[in-house]
């Protein structure tokens, strides 16, 4: 007996992800996949980045959630085009879902496509969506051992944002340990420290993203 289903699915996903990437590049859209645990601060970061960029980068958002449209409503309130994907139980987005969602956006009028993945530190790691950059978030309350315990999602990311940095006084969380673990797994990745409460660090990651988008 041969079991090849998972490999086949991943191969098909990779092919469609490449197609998505070509489509985004051809339209002049820079795609960013935002991943991290439930509640780590993904939507809050999107809100802060959109507030910072304004219309300058012509952003749009694809929201991935198992159910509901809470996050899409938060983005819609900012007046930014948004599509909500409900995965109906699946713990990650895939290239097919993003392909379908992108079909309802005017890609030619956009500069930046921010894709918030389903909150999960495991499943999204294996699924390329066709993005140009992947940012992984790790919030202080989750603990400083998460890179060591969930390496795949960190290894494949271009940047790490340590979020909720305002909570450091309340948790035994070593930023040095997290930075060292990330350096080992992804030496080229940028590391940012953010607080949505104070707004600290949003400028740095926003400037980096803007420079990465401009460099393409």
Ligand X SMILES: Nc1nc2c(ncn2[C@@H]2O[C@H](COP(=O)(O)OP(=O)(O)OP(=O)(O)O)[C@@H](O)[C@H]2O)c(=O)[nH]1
Q: What residue ranges bind ligand X (CB under 6 A)?
A: 36, 38-44, 71, 119, 163-164, 166-167, 195-197
Residue 39-58 contact track with Mg ion, rule CB under 5 A, x = bound: ---xx---------------
Q: How many CA atoms lie within 13 A of 125 on its CB side?
A: 14
Residue number of the CB atom closest to Mg ion: 43
Q: Which is nearer to ligand X, 81 or 141 (CB)?
A: 141
Query: How many residues lie near Mg ion (CB under 5 A)?
Result: 3
Find the farthest-apart pair of alpha carbons in the chain and give their distance in angstroms, rounded.
57
Crossing angle (nearest 10°) for helices 42-53 and 202-215: 70
What phi and psi, each to the nearest 5 degrees, are found at residue 39? 80, 10
CB of 116 to Mg ion, least distance (A): 6
Among 71, 128, 131, 181, binds Mg ion (CB under 5 A): 71
Q: How far is the C-alpha of 131 from the C-alpha of 80, rounded, in Å?
A: 19
Q: Which is nearer to ligand X, 197 or 216 (CB)?
A: 197
120 binds Mg ion (CB under 5 A): no
CB of 69 to ligand X, least distance (A): 12
Cβ neighbors of 157 (< 8 A, separation 6 or more) are: 35, 134, 135, 136, 186, 189
Cβ neighbors of 184 (< 8 A, separation 6 or more) are: none
CB of 187 to ligand X, least distance (A): 26
Pick the closest to residue 95 from 23, 28, 5, 20 (CA basis). Answer: 20
CB of 99 to ligand X, least distance (A): 21
Q: Which is nearer to ligand X, 23 or 52 (CB)?
A: 52
163 binds Mg ion (CB under 5 A): no
Residue 2: other Cβ atoms inside 10 A:
4
Q: Which is nearer to ligand X, 121 or 209 (CB)?
A: 121
Positions touching Mg ion (CB under 5 A) are 42-43, 71
């Amino acid at each position: 007996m041969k079991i090849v289903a998972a490999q086949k699915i991943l191969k098909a996903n990779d092919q469609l992800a490449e197609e998505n990437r070509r489509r985004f590049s051809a339209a002049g859209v820079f795609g960013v996949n935002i991943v991290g645990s439930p509640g780590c601060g993904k939507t809050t970061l999107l809100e802060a980045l959109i507030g910072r960029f304004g219309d300058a980068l012509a952003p749009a958002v694809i929201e991935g959630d198992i159910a509901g449209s809470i996050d899409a409503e938060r983005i819609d309130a900012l007046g930014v085009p948004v599509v909500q994907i409900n995965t109906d139980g699946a713990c990650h987005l895939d290239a097919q879902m993003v392909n379908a969602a992108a079909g309802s956006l005017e890609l030619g009028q956009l500069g930046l496509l921010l894709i918030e993945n389903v909150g999960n530190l495991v499943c999204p790691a294996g699924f390329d969506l066709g993005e140009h950059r992947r940012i992984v978030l790790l919030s202080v309350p989750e603990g400083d051992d998460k890179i060591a315990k969930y390496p795949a999602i960190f290894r494949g990311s271009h940047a790490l944002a340590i979020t909720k940095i305002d909570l450091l006084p309340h948790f035994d969380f070593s930023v040095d340990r997290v930075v060292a673990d990330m350096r080992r797994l992804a030496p080229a990745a940028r590391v940012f420290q953010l607080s949505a409460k104070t707004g600290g660090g949003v400028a740095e990651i926003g400037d980096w993203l803007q420079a990465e988008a401009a460099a393409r």
